[in-house]
Amino acid sequence: GENVEQHPSTLSVQEGDSAVIKCTYSDSASNYFPWYKQELGKRPQLIIDIRSNVGEKKDQRIAVTLNKTAKHFSLHITETQPEDSAVYFCAASISGTASKLTFGTGTRLQVTL
Amino acid sequence: NAGVTQTPKFQVLKTGQSMTLQCAQDMNHEYMSWYRQDPGMGLRLIHYSVGAGITDQGEVPNGYNVSRSTTEDFPLRLLSAAPSQTSVYFCATRRTASSNQPQHFGDGTRLSIL
């Protein structure tokens, strides 16, 4: 089955700096890559996703890049703010009937003042 | 429109007890699933369903049962609770069984097994 590795496990940045979280996946057939943000004690919430037919997607301060050849994708957060502090999860899946999301182990991002 | 509703929010059980975690959705989503979240291990799929009457196993199904008698409900049953099942459990849904769509999570159930 699919295996998703995520790095780093913790990341501390100063407010205003950029943060980058990287994930690699094992199954070359994977074609959907969402990112979830989970604040302490809350549910995971989708913040951005990318499909394999594009290499980059942006939404305000958040961007995701995908390198299908190398089988890795990354989350970029620019101009970080304290409210960006949370755990971020990447995931991967193969489209099709009953496709299942496989999650990375998460990155705890701390934005310091 | 409540989205995905999980009950209870917290539960403490003794080893060997059984219980059912409830998940209900009002979005008419085909796909429903259960995950457990443990520190350092991300979200791991327990069971999933692609529609009423259809269920299948995920990555970590042992010790859990599910059923899907209606589109709206997808209960998770612990048959004989063990300390290793102490975890936070999330129910998640998406509109259809195929991928490439956002999954919507419930608020979670924090379960402790003594």
- pLDDT (tens digit per residue) in A6-46: 999 999 999 999 999 999 999 998 999 999 999 999 999 99
Q: For residue range B81-103, list pLDDT tens digits in order.
A: 999 999 999 999 999 887 678 89
Phi, psi of A82 (to 5 degrees): -55, -35
Q: Nearest chain A Cα to B89, which residue? A: A43
Residue of B43, B56, B108 with shortest CB distance to A103: B43
> Rounded to whole angstroms, what are the CA distances from B109 to A87, B22, B37, B84?
18, 9, 10, 15
Q: Are B12 and B110 in contact (CB under 8 A)?
A: no
More confident site: A95 or A73: A73
B20 pLDDT above the threshold of 70: yes
CB contact under 8 Å between B98 and A95, yes or no, is: yes
The C-alpha angle A74, A77, A81, rounded to 5 degrees, equals 155
Using DSSP, how many helices (H) and how many strands (E) does chain A show? 0, 11
Tokens describing residue A23 = 């994930």
Q: Nearest chain B Cα to A105, which residue? A: B42
